[in-house]
Chains A and B, each alone.
Chain A
Amino acid sequence: MNYPIWDVSFGAGLLIALVAGLHVFVSHFAVGGGLFLVLTERKAIKNHDHALLNWLKSHTKFFVLLTVVYGAVSGVGIWFTIGLISPTATSNLIHIFVWGWAIEWVFFFLEITSALLYLSGWDKLSPKLHQWYGWIYFITAYASLVVINGIITFMLTPGSWIDVHKFWIGFFNPTYFPSLFFRTAICLALAGIYALITASVQKDKDLKARIVRWGALWTIPSLLALIPFGYWYIREIPAALFLSARGPMPTATHYAFLAWSLLAVTFVLMLLALFTPRRMHLAFALVIGLIALGAMDSFEFVREDVRKPFVIENYLYANSLYANTMPGDGGFTVDNLNTVGVLHSAAWIDQRTITPDNKVAVGHEIFRVECQACHTANAYRGVHQLLEQRQWDPATTRAMLSGLALMHNGVMPPFAGTDPERDALAAYLNSLQTITPNPATFTDGKLVYQNNCSMCHQDHPNEQFFSGIVTDPTAAADSLKDLTSLFPLMPDLKLNEAQRTALVHYINTLRPPAQHAANLPVEGGK
C-alpha cells in the first residue's frame, strides 16, 4: 500500500521461487565446492594423482563459470526480485542489516577475486600458493553464508529483536545456528553431487570411479548430518508458528515430507553410485542433481511456508502490513486500516470512494494491495479456483473474509479495512467466478462441511469443534444459527435449516462414540 504493487499475472511468489530456488542450489555449491576444490587438489598432489589433478582443472572451470557468473548474478537477482515484490520488507531489512550486507559484500568481493585467480592460477602458481587462493576463496565464501544466514533466519525467528531492536540480537536469532549447520551440510553434500557431473564425462573409468567415491564421501555423511540438524532447526521454531504450518492447510508439512523423501532418494542414489562408480553416466549424475535440487527447494519452501502469514515474523505480514502499531508504521497496520479504511490509507490506488458502480473496481484495487503479494486472480494460488471449488456466494465470501486470520490455522493475515471495503473485496472476488454459486442448494452434510468449515476446522475426532457442539441434533442445528455466539471470531455465516441439519448429521457421524453419551454443553472451543 505504501509502495505500488507489481501486478504479475502468473504470481509474484512463483517468480521469487524460481529465482531463489535455482540460486540457492548454485550458491550452496559455491561454498561447499570451494572446500572440495582445495582439499581435492591437496589429495591429488599428495597421491601424485595427475589424472585427478587434470580433472580438477576442468572442474574448476565448470565451478567458476557456474558460480561466478550464474551464482553471483542470480544472487543479485533475488535482491532485485524481493525489492520489486516486497519493497516494504526489503526496506526494513536494509535499514536493520545494511552493515551485515556491507560485510557480506566485502567477503563477496574477495570471493570473486580469489575464484578468478584460483582458476587462472592453475599451472602458473606453485601448488602451495595456488591452494592459498583456494583457501581464501573457501573462507570468504563461507563467511558470506555466515552473514546472509543471519538475515534469512531473522525473517523466520526475529526472537527478542522485536523488543530490543539490536543488530546482533536479530542476527544471532533462535534459528541462526541450526540453520547454519543445516546449510553447511547442504553445501558439503552438493560439492560431492556436482563432482559427479563433471566426473561422468571422463573417459578414464578408474579416474571416474575415484572421483565418484571421493564425491560420495562428501555427500553421504552430509546427508546424514541433515537429520539431526533439521530436527534441531524445527525445535527452534516457535511453537505457534510451527502449529500454524500444520493443520488444515499443511503446505509446509507437505513440503517437509517431500524434502525428507527426496533427501532419502538422493541418499539411496548416492549409495547406488558408490556401488557402480565406474559406470557413472551423465544422465544419472543429472538425475541425482535434480532430485537434490527438489529436496533443497522443498526445504526452502518449508521455511517460507512456516513463516506465513509473515514475511518477518510477528513484525510484518506478507502483504506489507505491520503486525503491531509502532512509531513510523505510516498507518499501515491492521488496526489502523480497520478504523480509517484502505481507501484512505493506501497511496497507490485510484479509487477513493465506493459507489454501487465502482464496487468491483474498488474490490480489485483492495485485492491488489492486500492479497496479491501471495495470490493471483486465476493463476498461482488463484482465488478464482478456491471460490468455485467451495461455491461461495457473495454473502459467504463476505463472512469468510472476517475470519481470514483464523483460516487455515493462521497462515493468512487478517483482512484489514472497513466493512464497506470488505464488501467491495467480496464483490470483486465473486466477480471472478465463472459460475453462479447457489450454496443454499447444497444440503449434503459433508459438502456443507467442506465448503464452509474445513478451512479452519479439521474433521478429526480430537478437534475441539466436536466438543463445542451438542450432540442433540435439534439443539445443535439451532446453535449453528448464530456462529459468533459459539465463538466470537467465527465468520457470521448464515446456513439454511436444511444445511444446518445435514451438517449436524455429518458431524455426529464423525464424532467419537464417547462424546455421544456425554452430550457436552455448548461452551469453549472454536
Chain B
Amino acid sequence: MIDPSMVPTLDPNPLPAPYWLFKLLLLVTFFLHIVAMNFMLGGAVLAVFARFTSKGKEFRNRIFLDLAKKIPVFLAATITIGIAPLLFVQAIYGQYFYTSTILIAWPWFLLLVLLVVAYYGFYYVAYNGKRRPGPAGIVLLVSLALVLIVGFIQSTNVTLMQNPTHWAAKYFASPTGWSNNLSDPTLIPRYLHFVTSAISVGGILLVLLALVRWDDDRDYASYLFQYGGKAFMYATMAQFIIGSWFLISIPRNFRMLFMGDNPLASALFIVGILGTVGAIFLMSDALRKQNIRMAAYGVSGILAVVILTMILMRDILRDAYLEPYFHPHQFAVKTQWAVLPVFLVLFLGGVGLWLLMLQRYGLFASKLPPSDLGPSIDAPAEPEPEVELVG
C-alpha cells in the first residue's frame, strides 16, 4: 500500500451541505445519466447492426432510420444529465477523481474531442440516413466506435480513481498524462458489463418503439418487438458470463461483500440477479404470446429496478475500494442555507417546466395509457417516439 499522503488533502472549504445529500444527488443523477447513455449507446449498436444486415430486409432499414433520428437526442440527454453526477462526484470524491484524471489526462481531454466528432456524426446520420444510406452507415459505425472509446476512458478513470495504490508508479513512470489502467484485471470486464447492459436497454428501446406503433403499423411493430426483444434477451444472457467474469476479477474481500459479508450489498445482488433472470423469462413469454405491453411495461419496470441495484452496488464497491482513505466524517460540513433552497426550488420548478414543455409539444398526447415508468427516468424514450426531435 502506498503512503496515504499521496492521496491529496481536502481543500479548506467545508462541504456546503450534508454528505448524504451529495451522495443521494450523485446516485440519482448518475442513474438517469446511465439510462440515457444506455438508450444512446444501445440504440447506436442496434442501429449499426440493423443497417449492415438490412440487405433485402426493409424493416431493418426502417429500424436503422428510426434509431438514427433518436440517437442525437439521447446523446444530448446523456451529456446534459451527465453534468450533474460529474459535479457531485467532484464535490465528495474530488481528491480521487482529479488525481486519476490527471494520470490519464490526454485520453480524458481527448474524450471531449471524440464526443464532439461522434455527436456531429450522429447528426449527419440523422439528417442523411435516408438519402445516403451508404455513407451514413459508415459514419454511424465511426461515431459508435468513438462513443465506445469514450466509455472505455470513463471506465478507465473510475477503476483508477478507486485504486490510489496504483497512482504513484504510473505518475513517476510518466507525468505526461498518457497512463492507462490496463493492468487492472477489473477494467475490461467492467467495461464490457456496461456496454452489454447498454445493448440490453437498446433492445428495450425497440420494444418501446414497437409499443407506440402497435395499433397503427402492426407488421413493423411486431418485427421491432421481435428484434428488440431478442436483442434484449441475448445481451442479457451474455451478461451472465461477463458479469461473472467481472465478479471474479474483483478482489476476494470485495466480492464477499456481495455474498454475505455486507447484508445490503448481498440483498441488492440477489435482487439484481433475480430481476435479470425474471426479465429474460418475462420477455421470452411476452415474445411468444406477442404481448407487447407485458414486454414494454413489465420488462422495462424490472430492468429499471435492476439498473438501480447495479448503481447502488457500484457505489458500495467504490467505497469499499476507498475504505482505507475515505470516510464521510472527514468532511467539515457547513450547509449553505442561503442558496441550497434556491437550488431545490429551481430544480423542482425546472422539472415542472420541463414536463410542461414536453406536454405542450404533444409528447404525452399519445393514445397509450400513461406509463408506469416515472417520466423523469426515460420520458424522451417512451410515449413520444412518433415525434422526431431532429428536424
Contact = CB atoms under 8 A, between A and B. Distances in A.
Given A76-B79, A102-B343, A326 B116 contact: no
B54 to A, nearest CB: 26
Contacts of A81: 109
B10 A70 contact: no
A133 B16 contact: no
A84 B105 contact: yes
A327 interface: yes
Contacts of B390: 120
A99 B5 contact: no
Interface in A145-176: 165-168
Given A72-B80, A136-B357, A347-B6, A368 B175 contact: yes
A80 to B, nearest CB: 6
B109 A84 contact: yes
B15 interface: yes
Nearest to B97: A83
A69 B116 contact: yes
B387 A94 contact: no
Interface in A94-148: 94-96, 98-103, 105-110, 112-114, 116-117, 119-122, 124-125, 129, 132-133, 136
Contact of A347 (B8, B25, B87, B339): B8
Interface in B104-124: 105, 108-109, 111-112, 115-116, 119-120, 123
B176 A9 contact: yes
A122 to B, nearest CB: 7
Contact of A117 (B87, B167, B357): B357
A5 B174 CA distance: 11
Q: Which of B95, B175, B387 has the most CB of A within 10 A?
A: B175
B170 to A, nearest CB: 9
Given A74-B116, A87-B102, A133-B357, A103 B343 contact: yes
A136 B360 CA distance: 13
A7 B336 CA distance: 36
A314 to B, nearest CB: 14
Given A84-B108, A91-B11, A103 B338 contact: no
B76 interface: yes
Contact of B342 (A61, A99, A109): A99
B245 interface: no
A487 interface: no
Nearest to A81: B109
A92 interface: yes
B171 A99 contact: no
Contact of B16 (A99, A119, A330): A99
B340 interface: yes
A342 B22 CA distance: 34
B343 A99 contact: yes
A65 interface: yes
B83 interface: yes
A366 to B, nearest CB: 14
B81 to A, nearest CB: 7
B120 A69 contact: yes
B8 A3 contact: yes
Given A94-B94, A117-B389, A4 B15 contact: no
Contacts of A98: 16-17, 22, 87-88, 91
A444 to B, nearest CB: 41
Interface string B50-72: 00000000000000000000000
Contacts of A136: 353, 357
Contacts of A168: 338-339
B109 A80 contact: yes
Nearest to B25: A102
Given A2-B8, A92-B11, A121-B361, A99 B350 contact: no
B20 interface: no
A329 B343 CA distance: 29
A8 B108 CA distance: 14
B87 A108 contact: no
Contacts of B388: 120
B338 A84 contact: no
A120 B387 contact: yes
Task: Give the dominant DSSP class at B's interface.
Answer: helix
B339 A100 contact: yes
Contacts of B119: 69, 73
A122 B73 CA distance: 17
Contacts of A7: 175-177
A101 B346 contact: no
B391 interface: yes
B234 interface: no
B14 A94 contact: no
A446 to B, nearest CB: 41
A69 B87 contact: no
Interface in B1-43: 5-6, 8-17, 22, 25
Contacts of B14: 95
A68 B339 CA distance: 28
B266 interface: no
Contact of A101 (B87, B176, B354): B87
B103 A95 contact: no
A113 B86 CA distance: 20
Contacts of B171: 4, 348
A357 interface: no
Contacts of A109: 80-81, 350, 354
Nearest to A171: B339
B325 interface: no
Q: Which of B90, B120, B332, B360 has the most CB of A within 10 A?
A: B90
Interface string B325-364: 0000000100010111011001100100110011011000
B99 interface: yes
A95 B11 contact: yes
A273 B94 CA distance: 50
Interface of A: 2-9, 15, 61, 65, 68-70, 72-74, 76-77, 79-81, 83-84, 87-88, 90-92, 94-96, 98-103, 105-110, 112-114, 116-117, 119-122, 124-125, 129, 132-133, 136, 165-168, 322, 326-330, 347-348, 350, 368
**Nearest 8 Cβ contacts at the A-B interface:** A328-B12, A87-B98, A95-B13, A330-B9, A106-B350, A7-B175, A6-B105, A77-B112
Given A6-B105, A102-B87, A168-B339, 17 more contacts: A3-B8, A3-B98, A3-B99, A65-B120, A65-B123, A73-B112, A83-B97, A83-B98, A88-B11, A92-B12, A98-B16, A109-B81, A119-B391, A129-B360, A136-B357, A165-B13, A328-B12
16 contacts: A6-B102, A7-B177, A68-B76, A80-B101, A87-B102, A90-B90, A99-B17, A109-B350, A109-B354, A113-B354, A125-B361, A133-B361, A328-B11, A328-B13, A328-B332, A330-B10
